[in-house]
Amino acid sequence: MNIIEAFDVDKEFNGRSILKDVSFTIKEGTINGLLGPNGAGKTTLIRLLNGVIDATNGTMKVMNYDPKFHGDDIRAQTGIVTESAALYHDMSAWDNLVFFAKIYKVFDQKRISYLLEQFELYDKKDHLVGTFSTGMKKRLSLAKALIHKPKLLFLDEPTNGLDPEGINDVIQLLKKVNEEEGITILICSHVLHQLETICEAFLFLKEGRLIEQGTRRELEDKYLSEIKLLVETGLQPADPRVYRGYSYKRKSPSQLEFTLLSKEQISPLLKEILTESWIYSSEITNRGLETLYFKIRGGDHE
């Protein structure tokens, strides 16, 4: 079932087009990445879906509500984490969550304790938020966004300002709440490798237009027409460019990068090499989200 449907959405600010003909769907229970460079319109799209601002044209359904008329209903069932954490620094972690729970009229000590424990903040529950590290604040704002058990979570650059460990913590927590509470998640970001492991599907925005969407598999099938395979081997082919019909480049004394037409060529190639030499490792180097992103942004799309 789709939890979000958008059809031909346009948004203008003072006559300037910010989003144009944006159409997409998001399946309930999935984690989705909304990718695009600064100014592409990601935050604007989230504000439209939340009913904070109105679309100039087009239709949207979020949990079967039209954000134009039922923003309150949508916001009652969605959580949002923006870049500014929007926490009270002169209050404790506990008091912050109590405060926001009361706003949502869902005050429940058990839920607050549960979230603080899940997000490894329970020991610090009575400390002032002003004394927290960026990572702790980020985790607390996630807990705040989940206080009312939302069905849908919008995250705007959730890992900004975090160190690698902090990023990993947030990513793991998102995975956990998705699995345990079945929450659908839409993450805006331009830091791609972080999203790679958790997102099932991606939307690519560029200058206000949705230029591509799909699962990673679908996008790879569409955009990656050749495979770059880096093989660590003792093989010393006589020809400096072609080995048994496979073209390659030498990357280091023990690394050859083969260009293959499809994944089906990987096993036969490796078998051939093994008849002549050792292999320590082999890795496809052009498959990641980053490669896809630049191909899509670069205009390889229709």
Ligand X SMILES: Nc1ncnc2c1ncn2[C@@H]1O[C@H](COP(=O)(O)OP(=O)(O)OP(=O)(O)O)[C@@H](O)[C@H]1O
Binding interface with ligand X (CB under 6 A): 13, 18, 36, 38-44
* Spatial strand order in the sheet of 16-27: 16-27, 2-13, 57-62
CA angle, residues 117, 180, 134, in degrees to nearest 5:
45
The distance of closest approach from Cβ of residue 48 to ligand X in the complex, given in angstroms and rounded to an integer, is 10
Q: Which 3 state secondary structure label does DSSP give 219?
A: helix
Nearer to ligand X, 39 or 234 (CB): 39
Nearer to ligand X, 63 or 205 (CB): 205
CB 2 within 8 A of CB 60: no
CB 202 within 8 A of CB 214: yes
Q: Which 3 state secondary structure label does DSSP give 174?
A: helix
Residue keyed to tokens 């060529």 = 265
Nearer to ligand X, 150 or 208 (CB): 208
The distance of closest approach from Cβ of residue 13 to ligand X in the complex, given in angstroms and rounded to an integer, is 3
Nearer to ligand X, 20 or 42 (CB): 42
Nearer to ligand X, 42 or 216 (CB): 42
The answer for residues whose C-beta is within 8 angstroms of residue 21's C-beta and 6 or more apart is 8, 9, 10, 58, 209, 210
The answer for residues whose C-beta is within 8 angstroms of residue 218's C-beta and 6 or more apart is none
Query: If you count DSSP H runs as helices and E runs as strands, how many of each does the chain have, helices first?
Result: 10, 14
The distance of closest approach from Cβ of residue 43 to ligand X in the complex, given in angstroms and rounded to an integer, is 3
Nearer to ligand X, 38 or 84 (CB): 38
The distance of closest approach from Cβ of residue 44 to ligand X in the complex, given in angstroms and rounded to an integer, is 3
Alpha-helical segments (H) within 104-188? 109-118, 134-145, 164-181
